[in-house]
């Protein structure tokens, strides 16, 4: 096993052991009384205890679920209790009052809960801990009326409390650190892609983790300690906001399409969730109306229906082969399984002792769900990158194909023009010259005086014919296989030098033999030299230029430098009229490279390198 994997495994085992160590040993018996009228005071509770109305709580647990009632705990300590604390393992209790019975009179020791600022707690922990100083009977009022209550209670020593709470704090800090990293990863993906899916992921995971922190009491302890109005509502608020965010996130995550009617139904449930969140936040801090409990019970059923519907849809799309739906389904099932284990531990449905899952089941489930969803996002991001790269490759192939077709069209057009110049214009000029020559000979035979204009016209026609031949050869090197690339390039430079505008020097190295398999490369280099010199004469304003063409072992090198006005790479990018776009396309077609630099003290230096690879240029590689 790799060192990193071993380290993580050992750390998780340590965290599990710390969570397991939170289970306290057996302590004095507790007694319970349910006050369904919610009107009993401490004196009335003491009277009920004396009358035997309290029932034993052998399991030291209370799981009434949704209730209108207030509950009273009673317990008796037979020895001095200066080192004991009362632990109520339910971090979301609205009001708690602890009494000590002294001389038959209840004396209030502590009062706290979610309706009070966190600083008023006698011991700063996520759960409720109350230090006990005296022996004898104690009463504790537990008020979570009109809400759901799942409570365990016991006595522990202060040392046991410190060990358990430090272990719990370490576990939740480790989980929060992992969640923070996942959120940062989601923000990075959103910043990189600008895809709202990753923003929804961040909001969904953040809302879910706020639900976990509020459910465990850590939100009130660390995030909103001075806001009791939020502490009493945070659990339901963040639970429903997480569910409301889950639908748009799931639809974007899986790229699943829904029937319009089903979509309206689900979005109606989502609107109901947001409406409940708004109602909870707008109500007063100490809402006590009985209708609030009824609304929560109806909402719980709606949540179950919503989760069942979501799992059904995810299962359907998973069965249809949607990989992202499978990621999402496995993530949700993991969360649901961990939440059910935690609920079973609370209610006693599970016989096994699972203190870690009792405390952190939902937190662990949400953490694993977030990791699975992140893995799905990473897979989706990989597919996104791969599809973009494939699209770019297709565009590149299309561009190269267009360049090939353009080059073929240009070659065909040049060949046609060259053929017309050579065969038609050249023949007509030769015929005209022959006619003039015949006319001059006829005059000589008839001993007529020679007309100098005939001789001048004959010479002019000869020059025009020669120019037409050179131009036809420049347009299309018909003799390239016979004369070789150096000879064809010399014809080009001779033509441009004949203009008298610029003096071009040509240096050719290599090309000792002609290779048929490099015919396309020879034609390409020939065309590049022609277009570069044409641009030089038209735009550079140079008086001299040097062209170097070199054959290397694995490539061809082409260097053109002049003493003209000059321009650099940025200027070339912003000046399409310079004709460099076609040159770049041809260089890219041959998988070559081009560089444009300023040539000191003035002018431009253009360097082109073309590999000698002999792959099929009609179907470029890279697909």
442 located within any domain: no
Question: Is the pLDDT at 2 greater than 50, yes or no?
Answer: no
- Comparing 44 with 252, the larger pLDDT belongs to 44
Residue 321 has pLDDT above 60, yes or no: yes
- Indicate if the pLDDT at residue 409 is higher than 90: no
Q: Which two tokens stand for residue 556?
A: 């061809």
Query: Which residue from 50, 51, 91, 53 is spatially nearest to 71, judged by alpha carbons?
Result: 53
For residues 522-536, average pLDDT? 84
Q: Do 226 and 326 sit in the same domain of this protein?
A: yes
Residues 350 and 213 reside in one and the same domain: yes
272-318 pLDDT, tens digit per residue, is 888 888 877 777 655 566 676 777 777 777 777 777 877 888 888 88
Which CATH number belongs to the domain containing residue 75 in this structure? 2.60.40.2380
If you average pLDDT over residues 132-146, what whole number do you get?
89
Predicted local confidence at residue 432, as pLDDT: 66
Range of the domain at 585: 481-623
What pLDDT is stored for residue 476 in this prediction? 58
pLDDT average, residue stretch 123-143: 91
CA R_g for the chain: 45
214 plus 297 within the same structural domain: yes
| 617 phi/psi in degrees, rounded to 5 | -75, -10
Looking at per-residue pLDDT, the higher value among 454 and 391 belongs to 391
Q: What is the CATH number of the domain that holds 191?
A: 1.20.1070
pLDDT of residue 23: 43
* Residue-level pLDDT at 147: 82
pLDDT in tens, 93-104: 989 999 999 988
pLDDT of residue 420: 59
Top-confidence residue, 331 or 572: 331
60 shares its domain with 119: yes
User: Given this model, what pLDDT does residue 487 score?
Assistant: 83
Mean pLDDT, residues 158-173: 91
Which residue's entry shows tokens 């023949």?
Answer: 427
Q: Is residue 611 part of a domain?
A: yes
Backbone dihedral region for residue 530 (phi beyond 0: left; psi -120 to 50: alpha; all else: beta): alpha
* pLDDT on residue 313: 81
**Across 191-205, 358-372, 480-494, 560-574, least confident range:** 560-574
Residue 111 has pLDDT above 80, yes or no: yes
- Residue 44 pLDDT: 93
Q: Domains in the chain: how many in total?
A: 3
Query: 324, 358, 392 — which closes off a domain?
Result: 392
Residues 156 and 192 in one domain: no
Assess if residue 398 is contained within a domain: no
pLDDT of res. 340: 84
Tell me which of 112, 134, 162 is where a domain ends. Answer: 162
In this prediction, residue 352 carries a pLDDT of 64
The verdict on 227 and 129 lying in the same domain is no
Averaged pLDDT of the chain:
79
Asked, for residue 458, whether it belongs to a domain, the answer is no
Predicted confidence at residue 99, as pLDDT, reads 95
Average pLDDT over residues 106-120: 91
Q: What integer pLDDT is reported at residue 421 of this predicted model?
A: 60
Does residue 9 sit in the same domain as residue 142? Answer: yes
Looking at residue 105, its pLDDT comes to 92
pLDDT at residue 55, rounded to an integer: 93
Segment 221-232, tens digit of pLDDT: 999 998 888 887
Q: Is the pLDDT of residue 576 over 60?
A: no
Is residue 273 in some structural domain? yes
Dist. CA 230–CA 283, nearest whole Å: 11
Whether residues 122 and 179 fall in one domain? no
Of 553 and 1, the structure prediction assigns the larger pLDDT to 553
32 phi/psi in degrees, rounded to 5: -125, 145
Residue 412 lies in a domain: no
Please state the rounded mean pLDDT for residues 179-193: 90
Nearby residues of 467 by Cβ (< 8 Å), 6 or more positions away: 498
Answer with the one of 334, 358, 392 that is the final residue of a domain. 392
In a domain, 420, yes or no: no
Q: Which helix (H) or strand (E) holds 596?
A: strand 593-598
Return the pLDDT at 1: 40
Burial 329-354 (b: 16+ CB within 10 A, else e): bbbbbbbeebbbbbbbbbeeebeeeb
Higher-pLDDT residue of 195 and 570 is 195
| Residue 450 pLDDT greater than 80, yes or no | no
Q: What is the pLDDT of residue 433?
A: 62
Is there a single domain that holds both residue 118 and residue 181?
no
The per-residue pLDDT for 618 is: 46
Same domain, 226 and 148: no
Q: Over pLDDT 70: what percentage of the chain?
A: 75
How many CB atoms are closer than 10 A to CB 440?
A: 15
pLDDT > 90 fraction of the chain, expressed in percent and rounded: 21
Kindly report, residue by residue over 52-68, the tens digit of the pLDDT: 999 998 788 888 888 88
State the average pLDDT over residues 17-41.
69
Confidence category of residue 199, pLDDT binned at 50, 70, 90: very high
Whether residue 504 sits in one domain with residue 538: yes
Question: What's the CATH code of the domain at 568?
Answer: 3.30.565.10
Q: Which of 182-191, 282-291, 435-444, 525-534 has the highest mean pLDDT?
A: 182-191
Question: Model confidence over 453-505: pLDDT tens digits?
Answer: 666 676 666 666 666 666 666 655 555 666 678 888 888 788 788 777 788 89
Residue 580 lies in a domain: yes
Which of 12-26, 319-333, 436-450 is most confident? 319-333
Are 21 and 132 in a shared domain? yes
| Residue 542 pLDDT | 81
For the ranges 259-268, 324-333, 432-441, the lowest mean pLDDT is seen at 432-441
Nearest Cα residue to 376 out of 330, 311, 442, 309: 330
* Residue 346 predicted with pLDDT over 60: yes
> What are the C-alpha distances in Å from 389 to residues 190, 213, 394?
19, 41, 9
Lowest mean pLDDT among 32-36, 125-129, 611-615: 611-615
pLDDT at 203: 94
What is the C-alpha separation between 260 and 84, in angstroms, rounded? 61
- Non-local (6+) Cβ contacts of 127 within 8 A are 87, 88, 89, 90, 91, 165, 217
Residue 8 scores a pLDDT above 50: no
């Amino acid at each position: 096993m790799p060192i990193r994997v071993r380290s993580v495994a050992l750390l998780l085992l340590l965290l599990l052991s710390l969570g397991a160590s939170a289970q306290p040993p057996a302590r004095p018996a507790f007694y319970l009384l349910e006050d369904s009228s919610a009107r009993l005071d401490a004196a009335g509770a003491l009277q009920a205890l004396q009358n035997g109305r309290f029932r034993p709580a052998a399991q030291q647990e209370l799981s009434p679920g949704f209730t209108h009632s207030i509950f009273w705990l009673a317990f008796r300590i037979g020895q001095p209790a200066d080192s004991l604390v009362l632990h109520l393992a339910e971090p979301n209790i609205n009001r708690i009052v602890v009494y000590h019975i002294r001389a038959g009179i209840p004396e209030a020791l502590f009062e706290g809960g979610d309706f009070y600022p966190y600083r008023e707690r006698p011991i700063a922990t996520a759960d409720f801990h109350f230090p006990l100083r005296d022996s004898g009977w104690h009463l504790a009022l537990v008020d979570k009326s009109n809400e759901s209550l799942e409570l365990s209670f016991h006595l522990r020593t202060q040392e046991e409390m410190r060990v358990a709470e430090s272990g719990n704090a370490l576990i939740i800090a480790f989980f929060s650190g992992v969640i923070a990293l996942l959120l940062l990863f989601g923000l990075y993906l959103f910043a990189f892609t600008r895809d709202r899916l990753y923003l929804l992921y961040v909001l969904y995971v953040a809302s879910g983790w706020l639900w976990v922190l509020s459910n465990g009491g850590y939100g009130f302890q660390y995030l909103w300690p001075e806001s009791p109005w939020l502490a009493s509502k945070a659990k339901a608020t963040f639970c429903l906001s997480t569910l409301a965010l889950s639908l748009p996130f799931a639809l974007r995550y899986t790229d699943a399409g829904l029937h319009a009617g089903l979509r309206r139904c689900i979005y109606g449930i989502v609107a109901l969730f947001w409406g409940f969140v708004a109602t909870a936040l707008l109500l007063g801090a100490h809402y006590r109306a009985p209708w609030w409990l009824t609304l929560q019970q109806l909402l719980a059923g709606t949540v179950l229906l919503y989760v069942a519907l979501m799992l059904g849809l995810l299962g359907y799309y998973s069965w249809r082969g949607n990989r992202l739906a499978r990621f999402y389904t496995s993530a949700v099932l993991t969360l649901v399984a961990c939440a059910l284990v935690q609920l079973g531990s609370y209610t006693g449905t599970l016989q096994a002792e699972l203190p870690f899952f009792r405390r952190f089941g939902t937190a662990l489930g949400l953490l694993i769900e977030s990791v699975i969803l992140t893995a799905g996002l990473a897979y989706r991001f990989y597919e996104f990158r791969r599809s973009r790269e494939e699209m770019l490759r297709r565009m590149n192939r299309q561009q190269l194909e267009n360049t090939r077709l353009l080059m073929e069209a240009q070659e065909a057009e040049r060949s046609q023009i060259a053929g017309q110049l050579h065969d038609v214009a050249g023949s007509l000029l030769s015929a005209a010259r022959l006619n003039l020559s015949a006319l001059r000979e006829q005059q000589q035979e008839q001993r007529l005086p020679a007309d100098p204009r005939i001789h001048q016209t004959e010479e002019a026609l000869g020059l025009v014919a020669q120019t037409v031949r050179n131009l036809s050869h420049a347009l299309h090197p018909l003799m390239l296989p016979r004369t070789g690339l150096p000879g064809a390039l010399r014809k080009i430079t001779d033509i441009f030098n004949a203009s008298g505008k610029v003096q071009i020097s040509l240096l050719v190295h290599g090309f000792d033999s002609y290779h048929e398999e490099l015919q396309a490369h020879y034609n390409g280099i020939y065309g590049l030299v022609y277009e570069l010199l044409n641009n030089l004469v038209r735009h550079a304003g140079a008086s001299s230029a040097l062209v170097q063409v070199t054959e290397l072992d694995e490539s061809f090198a082409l260097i053109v430098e002049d003493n003209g006005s000059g321009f650099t790479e940025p200027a070339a990018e912003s000046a399409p009229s310079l004709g460099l776009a076609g040159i770049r396309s041809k260089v890219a077609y041959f998988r070559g490279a081009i560089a444009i630099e300023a040539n000191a003290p003035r002018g431009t230096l253009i360097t082109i390198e073309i590999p000698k690879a002999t792959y099929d240029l009609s179907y470029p590689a890279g697909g």
